[in-house]
Amino acid sequence: MKSFTRALAAAALAALLALPAPARAEDCETVMTALGEAIALATKNFETTMEDLKKIMSGGADDKKKQTVKNMFCSSGGELLGTSRATRAVAGSCEDQKKALAGFDKSIKEMETAIDGTCK
């Protein structure tokens, strides 16, 4: 599922960038909708992972559990971050999405900070 989300985002970005300039504005809405669905899926996966992590940690934590939790968080968080970055890149190319860039930048920065603090 994670590979599918990444592939969808990459394909959407590649398709948008391959279009001639006049067609881009017409197709931005379609591509942004597809990427919005990819973000919704990545967010749902992240939320599910976080619930799983709570269950894992509820019974105490040895070093193996801590490493498992870290790996699961980093993987799921990285998927969400990558999907968000792809969406932000496309939004930057779409004239009608320019207003959303500050929101994308803020949420991406917050995710990077959380992931960097745990996963490096």
Alpha-carbon gap, residue 37 to 34, rounded angstroms: 5
Helix, strand, or coil here: 1?
A: coil
Domain boundaries in the chain? 2-119
What pTM value is reported for the model? 0.68
- Report CA 28 to chain centroid distance, whole Å: 18
Instruction: Please give the share of the chain, as a percent, with pLDDT higher than 90.
Output: 22
**Pair of tokens at residue 49:** 């992972």
- Residue-wise pLDDT for 74-120, tens only, equals 999 999 899 888 888 887 877 777 777 888 888 899 999 989 988 98
Q: How far is CA 40 from the centre of its chain?
A: 9
For the stretch 16-67, pLDDT in tens is 555 545 345 667 778 888 888 888 898 999 999 999 998 888 877 788 888 9
Q: For 55-68, what is each residue's pLDDT tens digit?
A: 888 877 788 888 98
